[in-house]
Amino acid sequence: MSLRRLGVCAVLFLAACLPVTPRPGPVSGGQGADPAVTASEKRACEARGGEFRSGGMAGFLTCFTTPKDAGKSCKASGDCGTGKCLARSGTCAPITPLFGCNEILDAQGRRVTLCVD
C-alpha cells in the first residue's frame, strides 16, 4: 500500500512541474488597442502640444503635456494650474500626468506624498 501512495505522490509531484499555458487576459501597454482610437488620441494629444507615449507602471499610452506654469514658483497646490506644487523645489510640476511618488504641497501648503502609477 505504501508503494501505491508513493506512486500517486510521484505522479502528482511531476504533474505540478508541467508548464502553465497562459490564458488570454487584459492587455496592457497599449497592445491590442483599436488603432483608429489610438491614432485619433495621438493626433488630439499632439494638437495640444503633448507627447503620446507609454507611462506609469502599466505602460498604457498616455498624453504627456507641459503645463503653462511648469517651473513657476509656488507655495501651495492652488498656485499651479495642475494643482501639483512640488515640495522639494517649490515649483509647479514640469509635466502632466506626474507618475511615481512625489512630495507635493497641498492647498494649505503642507507637504504630502502623492503616488500615481
Instruction: Evaluate whether 53 touches 78 at the Cβ level (below 8 Å).
Output: no
| pLDDT tens-digit series, residues 25-53 | 444 444 556 676 688 999 999 999 999 99
Distance linking the first and last C-alpha atoms of the chain: 56
Q: State if pTM tops 0.75.
A: no
Looking up cell 499555458, which residue turns up? 21
pLDDT over 90 at 86, yes or no: yes
pLDDT over 80 at 85, yes or no: yes
Q: How high is the pLDDT of residue 35?
A: 73
Q: Count CB atoms within 10 A of the CB of residue 30.
A: 16
Distance CA 104, CA 89 (A): 9
Q: How confident is the model at residue 2 (pLDDT cuts 50, 70, 90)?
A: low
| pLDDT tens-digit series, residues 3-29 | 666 556 555 555 555 555 544 444 444
Instruction: Evaluate whether 30 touches 61 at the Cβ level (below 8 Å).
Output: yes
